[in-house]
Structure 1
Amino acid sequence: MGSRCKSLLKGALKCAFVLSVATVTLSGHQQISHAAAAKGSLDASESLKKAITPVQGPYGYFVDHYKENVKTNTTPDNNPAIAIFDNTFLSYWSPDGTKKNAELLQENLDKSIPITNNATQAEIDRSYLTDRRDLRYNLISGLGPYSTAFIKDADAQTDFNSVPSAPLPANSPYSSMKWADENSKLGSVVKLVDLNEASDWSSTGTPKGYIKYERPYRLSSQVKVNPYLVNVMAAAPKTDYDFPSGHTTAAFETGEALAYVFPQRYQQLITRSSEVGYDRVLAGRHSPFAVMGGRILGTAMTASTLNDPANKQLIDQAYQDAQKDLSKAADSTAKDTFANYQQNLKDYTYRLTYGFKPISSTTKPMVVPKGAEVLLKTRLPYLSDAQRREVLYTTGLPSGYPMLDDPEGWGRLNLFKAANGFGEFLTNTTVTMDASKGGYQAADTWKNAISGKGGLTKAGSGQLTLIGDNTYAGGTTVKAGTLVAQNDHAFGNGSLTLDGGTVTLSAKHVTVKGTYHQAKDATLHVNAGDRATVDGSAHLNGTLVVNGAKSKNQTVLTFSKRTGKFSHVKLEGFGKNAHVVYTNKSVKVTD
């Protein structure tokens, strides 16, 4: 080999060595970056796992001990239905009659006075019927247009359908009729409600007997009693105590059980549950604290029933029967007292706190009770149990309000808000919906304003609609199915990536704070007059569908710069000469 060849070979080897080192260095840099990213992801996942881990009460976990609420267990030491109030109501009041927080107890009583004195005639009538009817029958109105079919197929009945012309006699009984039939067409649903509400361990009798707190109409003559019930309430025994409210507990046990098997009316049913509690305050029967306690106890009992493996067969059958019987049985002529979403939201939210101000720190971390995620299982069926716990965590009430800071977190749950999806993305969140399963798997709407550092990945064949004023920072990715933006800020503060599936713009001016990237198998669907503004760059590919033109010229997208073009364009509702015009800053349809 000549000297020149040796020199070339030496140089080539040197170059090869340098390239090899450079490649290793680059590869090593990538590995470090990936490792750092993985560590960041792991840290976020570990933080999330820690955040949603349940905390035991002094009795353990309520769902593991709920059947210990029986007459023979009469103290907080052996009855979780008493101990659940140990650091809330029992820190304001002692069963021996000592007022540990006299000011707060007086405020509780004072709130009853204007509620009872300002009751409308409609509220007086409704609270009377709530008082007299079977506790479970009270919740049927929450089914709205489906109540007609439920009454028929559950053989539901009541002997109280109107108000009396004069106050009832002192010894007047409650409804004597069986609310519904366990052998009816909807017998499995009736059995589930009965199991949850009418079992020995479902009662508030033992907690009331231990706590011994008097009813508001006995504590103040300013509390106005329901005029139809004046004689009945005057004759009630002194041992007929206030806390916790039995009617309210039963209302949440019934309403949440029905909401589980028929989640199409989830928020309406739990709103009616809260209304039953309000009716008890209206009638002068109970104080706000008593009905707040009823919500807490009823919710804990329902989660316990739904989590108990012994009940699985009945629960599954009840869900199947309710869906088969009711889902297509809406009666358009039936009265729907809970048709107004905004009113439901306002009423339910108020009844969570009854206007009490916080009395301690409002910044304590949310606690999600063990088993509480089951309460969202049929309402958010496409989420995992851990994701449902995250929903409860990110939609819960702040700490510090009277009555709500029980050890496990039952009081801070806001199921109405939780039914609207995440309140925050604590980490990157993938939602996989299967349209073939129907119901909320096929299509759902999230109404909350979603914040957080995480992002959203939409997978699966179903359709998810975002209508909240979102600020989450982690970006939005669509892999399959459809993601609909019905708010200008639906996609939060990050980038939008279409790897597949469809994004539909159904808001006037959707903003993408980061970049926009559309792959060849993805579709952008723009409704008439709607558009998107991308703060960063846009890479275009795949399909564009624009429908229902309101003018001859429509701007579809604007951006800082562009690469690529849509490979397929479908213009619906435009003239035959309509076409797409691309510039460095925009995409327009011109007719």
Structure 2
Amino acid sequence: MSFSTPGMPSAIAVACFALLLGACGGDDNNTTQSSGTTTTPLAVPAAPADPAFVDSAPVKASVTPFVDDIASNQRGVAKYATLETNSGVRLMEGFLNVWEPLTRIVDAAQTAPADGAFPAVVASSWTGLPGDGTPGGTVVNAAIHNANVQYVIDATTARTAAQAEAAYYDDRRGKNYSVTDGMGPLTAAWRAAAQQTTTITSIPADATTIKYDDGGNNVGVAGSANATFGDVITMVNKVGDNASTEPNKRFYKYARPYRWSSSVVVAPTLVPAISPTPNNDGGFVSGHTAEALRNAVVMAYLVPERFQEMLTRGMELGENRILAGMHSPLDVIGGRMLGIASAAANLYIPANAALKASAYTQAHTALMAATGTTPATFRTFAQSGTAANDRFTDYATNKANFNRRMTFGFPQIGSATLEPVVPKGAEVMLETRFPYLSADQRRVVLKTTEIASGYPVMDDAEGWGRLNLFAAGDGYGAFNGNVVVTMDATLGGFHAADLWRNNIGGSGKFTLKGTGNLKLGGANTYSGGTQVAGGALEAASVNAFGTGDVYLGAGSVIINAPASVAIAGKYTQLANTTLDLRVGPNGQGRMTVAGLTTIAGGTLRVAFVNGYAPKAGDTVAIMTGSSIKGQFTAVAVDGYKVTPIYTANGVQVRIDG
């Protein structure tokens, strides 16, 4: 309720309001300052200075970009049989620091006729059976190779029945059908719209004789045969173009873990699925993982409301390949890299632009119709899962699992301080997740959230191995330079409201413009200051605003953190703005300002939340600081009549009724 007198003429009301506020705080806290008989306007600090540069993530020009060269990822073609000419093989060049294949040619059980200057490919003598007395390649880094195999031994000997069951389903069932459960509350609607089927609904009773292949349709029905969802399925299929893992398997010629060590315990239900031709069955890279990740990426693109959950599910399928005994961690890391790069390339290709746009529209139209939701309620429904219908409902668990699966605990064997590098086209994967950012800004999000360098295999020249898409789904990892974000709430979805949960560092400044609501939920340390020039910037954590000044020049600041929000520098609020506090017990929704607080008008709104219900006569502290100058033009407290109280180091509201 605004502090005013009903029925009083507006000019008189304003005058009385000013007198009352002045009586509570003294002249030093008014919008003017008095010195003897001289009255001067309140001195208003300037906004934090804009840094002179805008951060960027330019494409590294030392190699041909994968997104431009994905078509070379072929086997059985002599001109694409080398490290230098095959984009997929080149992506995995870091594996040569661990293992040197028998030949550096795509030639395991593979031939190809001569092609111009490229000689014919002759099948190599690699048998796929380490220790059989024939040359098989050379271990370059014994510590990493041994750890790679030992990881599978440890995982498979400690495997639980539930893990064995999950590994079986993810091995035998269509990979897209498997990862669709990452949609959580949307899974049933997706599968119905896709007309997606599987015949893998139980584990065979006689695991020693049955190789149980899926007779379903995996992704569903594509194209015109599926009027409401066909473009969605066509796009899911499209990310598999030129995405084969066979060139890598036949180039690197690295054996499956159970062939390196008999101590690896392959899941009994999967023993019948072991290939009888080892020289045609390399382990590096994991095909199941690559397919799962490209499916997860494209589904996260089409339904960004499940962005991190879908990526978590894709990574889970990769780990299940280890638990099955079928692949090693390095196989899975390689599969992740190729899967992500392949999905990005096919989303990036201009020829697919119309298809991906239509697929995005179809996905939302069909899923909203099936779930009875609207554009305003769809995201809430997508995130409404419980443990009963969504294995990925716990954010902290998803994040921990994703990060663990990025490296599987391998140590850094190369430089840990290489500069971040972002592949050409990788930003397309964030196109629907952050529609209000520019392509350059999305590249900076990838740059500021990628993992450190030095891990085995992952330091490819373009940066695919270091991309942490889960972290990228939480926004910037650092503000470097001048970061300006504009959101348009009229466009709905993420344009209207979003949450960034990363711990944002850097020395840059952040400015929010437009009309949307952006929540900052990390333990932020960026130091260049925060300016709100439109929209609503919400503090969902106590250190949301970093270590600099906060300047509210237009729009609103919302304080909705579990404890008092710390502003390390100055806080300045201008007229025609709103400070919105969600005040609860134990300091929730309050502000503590270390520097000068200048209130040059504007509105203070307070809502009591989480059961907090002060009674008449109580005085509630809402802002403390070392020096507070000025007053709000209006104060409104939901459900209460109040009197604001201003002092030199605090603002309170007294509950009048």
Fold match by TM threshold 0.5: yes
Structure 1 contact 245–290 (Cα < 8 Å) conserved? yes
Q: Secondary structure at the match of 1:544?
A: strand
Which residue among 564, 577, 584 is the counterpart of 2:648?
A: 584
Structure 1 contact 212–239 (Cα < 8 Å) conserved? no
Q: Does 1:194 align with 2:237?
A: yes
| Aligned mates of 1:235, 1:78 — CA distance in 2 | 30
Structure 1 contact 496–512 (Cα < 8 Å) conserved? yes
What's the CA shift for 1:455?
A: 1.4
1:379–1:178: structure 2 CA closer, same or farther, 3 Å change rule?
closer
Q: Does 1:546 align with 2:606?
A: yes
| Aligned mates of 1:172, 1:129 — CA distance in 2 | 10
Q: Does 1:518 align with 2:573?
A: yes
Aligned to 2:192: 152
Which residue among 593, 605, 619 is the counterpart of 1:534?
A: 593
Aligned to 1:65: 69
Aligned to 1:84: 91
| Aligned mates of 2:413, 2:574 — CA distance in 1 | 53
Q: Does 1:572 align with 2:613?
A: no
What's the CA shift for 1:64?
A: 0.5
Q: Secondary structure at the match of 2:352?
A: helix
* Equivalences for residues 438-587 of structure 1 within 5 A: 438-507=492-561, 508-529=563-584, 530-540=589-599, 541-548=601-608, 550-551=613-614, 552-574=618-640, 576=641, 578-587=642-651
Q: Output the amino acid matched with 2:60.
A: V
Deviation per residue, 1:146-167 (Å, 9 max, x gap):
0110111110010101111221
Aligned to 2:255: 214
Q: Does 1:272 align with 2:313?
A: yes
Structure 2 contact 551–571 (Cα < 8 Å) conserved? yes
Deviation per residue, 1:37-71 (Å, 9 max, x gap):
88x60xx33xx33xx1121454x111100011122
What's the CA shift for 1:233?
A: 1.6
Q: Secondary structure at the match of 1:547?
A: strand
| Aligned mates of 2:408, 2:314 — CA distance in 1 | 15
Which residue among 281, 287, 290 is the counterpart of 1:249?
A: 290
| Aligned mates of 2:607, 2:275 — CA distance in 1 | 68
Q: Where do 5+ consecutive residues of structure 2 fail to align?
A: 1-48, 103-136, 372-380
Q: Output the amino acid matched with 2:590.
A: R
What's the CA shift for 1:168?
A: 5.0
Deviation per residue, 1:193-251 (Å, 9 max, x gap):
11112x3x111112211211110011101111011012322645442110100000001
* Equivalences for residues 224-263 of structure 1 within 5 A: 224-233=265-274, 235=276, 237-263=278-304
Aligned to 1:9: none
Deviation per residue, 1:317-362 (Å, 9 max, x gap):
0111111122462596872111111111111100100000111221
Which residue among 181, 187, 197 is the counterpart of 1:141?
A: 181
| Aligned mates of 1:519, 1:210 — CA distance in 2 | 64
Q: Which piece of structure 1 moves more, 322-331 or 496-505? A: 322-331
What's the CA shift for 1:175?
A: 3.8
Q: Output the amino acid matched with 1:553.
A: T
Aligned to 1:93: 99
Q: Does 1:122 align with 2:176?
A: no
1:405–1:181: structure 2 CA closer, same or farther, 3 Å change rule?
same
Structure 2 contact 211–270 (Cα < 8 Å) conserved? no
Which residue among 301, 309, 315 is the counterpart of 2:350?
A: 309
1:234–1:314: structure 2 CA closer, same or farther, 3 Å change rule?
closer
Q: Output the amino acid matched with 2:97.
A: S
Q: Secondary structure at the match of 1:488?
A: coil
Q: Secondary structure at the match of 2:282?
A: coil
Q: Secondary structure at the match of 1:581?
A: strand
What's the CA shift for 1:174?
A: 4.6
What's the CA shift for 1:563?
A: 2.6
Structure 1 contact 56–407 (Cα < 8 Å) conserved? no
Deviation per residue, 1:94-128 (Å, 9 max, x gap):
22012222222111111111111111111111110
| Aligned mates of 1:536, 1:423 — CA distance in 2 | 26
Aligned to 2:122: none
Structure 2 contact 175–218 (Cα < 8 Å) conserved? no
Structure 2 contact 197–216 (Cα < 8 Å) conserved? no
Q: Which piece of structure 1 moves more, 185-194 or 320-329? A: 320-329
Deviation per residue, 1:508-555 (Å, 9 max, x gap):
211111111111110001112331111111221110111226332111
| Aligned mates of 1:430, 1:517 — CA distance in 2 | 19
Q: Output the amino acid matched with 1:98.
A: T
Structure 1 contact 170–233 (Cα < 8 Å) conserved? no
Which residue among 151, 172, 189 is the counterpart of 1:132?
A: 172
Q: Which piece of structure 1 moves more, 252-261 or 93-102? A: 93-102
Q: Output the amino acid matched with 2:453.
A: S
Aligned to 1:20: none
What's the CA shift for 1:458?
A: 1.0
Q: Which structure exhibits the higher relative contact order, with contacts defined as CA atoms closer than 8 Å and separated by 6 or more residues?
A: 2
Q: Output the amino acid matched with 1:354.
A: F
Structure 1 contact 521–543 (Cα < 8 Å) conserved? yes
| Aligned mates of 2:311, 2:212 — CA distance in 1 | 29
Q: Scaled by the length of structure 1, what TM-score is found?
A: 0.89
| Aligned mates of 2:84, 2:215 — CA distance in 1 | 35
Aligned to 1:289: 330
Q: Secondary structure at the match of 1:98?
A: strand
Q: Output the amino acid matched with 2:171.
A: D
Q: Output the amino acid matched with 1:528.
A: V
Q: Scaled by the length of structure 2, what TM-score is found?
A: 0.80
What's the CA shift for 1:278?
A: 0.5
| Aligned mates of 1:171, 1:565 — CA distance in 2 | 76
Q: Secondary structure at the match of 1:143?
A: helix
Q: Output the amino acid matched with 2:299.
A: L
| Aligned mates of 1:497, 1:124 — CA distance in 2 | 55
Which residue among 383, 391, 413 is the counterpart of 2:437?
A: 383
| Aligned mates of 1:85, 1:232 — CA distance in 2 | 26
What's the CA shift for 1:284?
A: 0.8
What's the CA shift for 1:380?
A: 1.2
Q: Secondary structure at the match of 1:424?
A: coil
| Aligned mates of 1:399, 1:309 — CA distance in 2 | 31
| Aligned mates of 2:276, 2:446 — CA distance in 1 | 43
* Equivalences for residues 412-431 of structure 1 within 5 A: 412-431=466-485
